[in-house]
Chain A
Amino acid sequence: MSDISVENLNVWFGDHEERVDAVKGASFDVPSGSSFGLVGESGSGKSTILRAIMGLVPTWSGGLKIGDLTLGHKRPKTFYKDVQMVFQDPYASLHPRHSVDQVLGETLFLHGFKDVDRRILQLLDDVGLGREFRFRYPHQLSGGQRQRVAIARALAPEPSVILLDEPTSALDVSVQAEVLNLLSDLRDEHKLTYLMVSHNLAVVAHMCDATAVMQNGEIVEVLSVEDMRAMNPSHPYTRNLLEGSFGYKPTAEQSA
């Protein structure tokens, strides 16, 4: 019902000589209710795909489909009720002057919910934040707590698809696991479809059913999580990435 289909997507910035092609001919499908990862090094165009889907980048061509809805350059309001996004940096994605109550209340108001107070408490419970956090400001919260607020905001309109832009990369290692567990619990509870960007293969292996590997704006390989765990890639870049994820290993000559 809410599967994501990306067909030959191109995204670019700038015009003429200054034109930079950030994403070149990307295609993949995410079945409803599953999780799909996008991995690759910095600047490979992973986040740009998410921003293009959300309508935050106007310069794109190709086919984007969420469920039955084919996306044009202007998103209908119902789109944002169905598809939401969690940003990478929870320090930058919350308004510094708005309390948790204001952030969630405004989101609920914009989506036309009536019982705002009850829903705010429900959302705080859902993301494991106590009710005492309701009137806190972002500067009174830790990174993990902020990201929980951002997740609550994404959950507020009751979407079926959530795009996650490296949701844990700005957090401490101990908090990363908490947030990832929260995300998988929420997925099971609310029957969500995830499209998740990460440069951490362990995170993707933990969360996703399949993953696309990107290099220089192109998808070089779509890999199932079984193949990834079996270290069975077909593209040399993927092999590099997989080997790199085990950390630095000195070669025979160097250690000698």
Chain B
Amino acid sequence: MAEIEKQGLRAWLMTDTPTSRRHARFAALYAGWLTLKANPMAMVGLAILILLLGMAAFAPLLSPHDPFEQNLIGRLQSMGAEGHILGTDSLGRDLLSRVIYGSRITLYIVALVALIAPIVGLLVGTVAGYTGGIVDAILMRITDIFLAFPRLVLALAFVAALGAGIENAVLAISLTAWPPYARIARAETLTIRNSDYIAAVKLQGAGAFRIITKHIWPLCISSLIVRVTLDMAGVILAAAGLGFLGLGAQPPSPEWGAMISEGRRFILDSWWVATIPGLAIFTVSLGFNLLGDGLRDVLDPKDGDSA
């Protein structure tokens, strides 16, 4: 009985002739999901990110120890030591617990930067590209100024001005990360704005705001998503770099980048202290990249053609 119902739902979702707008949206979502599901690498990426989310959500249940509990007698225990599967760091804190709790900080940074930078970039780039003329010149020169600084140096200056801490680090990284998005969005807008379908909607009396948000944004988003997922590794590392310089996450918070810089001092005789958080960063970055690649295939209307 349940099997028949399932078949019915599937047929309802797979239909060629949706009966309402809501139905059509569900069918399109389902078709997108099927495309994503057919890509095994994207599913691996998705699995990694779901694991990361689960880890962050259930950190207190999953971690065997308190991530801040020091034990100077049992410092730098190697992997597989009793009670510490991944060993301990220079203050005798359990590495596994610290990596698990660190996923919260990493997710926090990544989510905020991924929200702020592409949206600011999209806004600046599409407005500049669509409006053209003096507005374009002013916005793009501002973008140039931000691009001219090395990223970490600019972030350092911002954090130094705003004060150390993870929120300010996020803000600083976002401020330095948006110009490439603005450039991509502007380039896409320039090719789109003279197309016939934009002329056609102008002939219906649509204003610039509607054209930019409803007609240009949807076409820019797929290239931006790919760029975001490629940038995520860089964002995690930039946050780590700021932490290393004492301007990002403050000790004893178990931020992965800060953990690496701590372990750097013992890298020759206690390699796992730096390696474990490094592997965590690597895995999460890989997850973002794989999922981003798959998402691009789903979002591209020409490749999404299964009919």
Contact = CB atoms under 8 A, between A and B. Distances in A.
Contacts of B197: 92-96
Given A137-B301, A139-B302, A153 B200 contact: yes
Interface stretch (A103-111, A180-188, A207-215, A234-242): A103-111
A153 B302 CA distance: 22
A56 B199 contact: yes
Contacts of B202: 56
A106 B204 contact: yes
A137 B307 CA distance: 11
B214 to A, nearest CB: 7
B64 interface: no
Contacts of B23: 135
Nearest to B192: A95
A84 interface: yes
Contacts, number: 70
Contacts of B18: 134-135
B16 A97 contact: no
Contacts of A56: 199, 202-203
B305 A139 contact: yes
A80 B65 CA distance: 69
Interface residues of A, number: 32
Given A132-B17, A137-B301, A140-B305, A93 B206 contact: no
Contacts of A110: 204-206
A111 B205 contact: yes
Interface of A: 54, 56, 77, 80, 84-85, 87-89, 92-99, 101, 106-107, 110-111, 131-132, 134-135, 137, 139-140, 150, 153, 157
5 contacts: A56-B199, A93-B196, A107-B204, A110-B204, A135-B24
Interface of B: 16-18, 21, 23-24, 27, 195-197, 199-206, 214-215, 218-219, 301-302, 305, 307
Given A96-B302, A110-B204, A135-B23, 10 more contacts: A93-B196, A93-B197, A93-B200, A106-B204, A106-B214, A107-B201, A131-B17, A135-B17, A139-B302, A157-B204
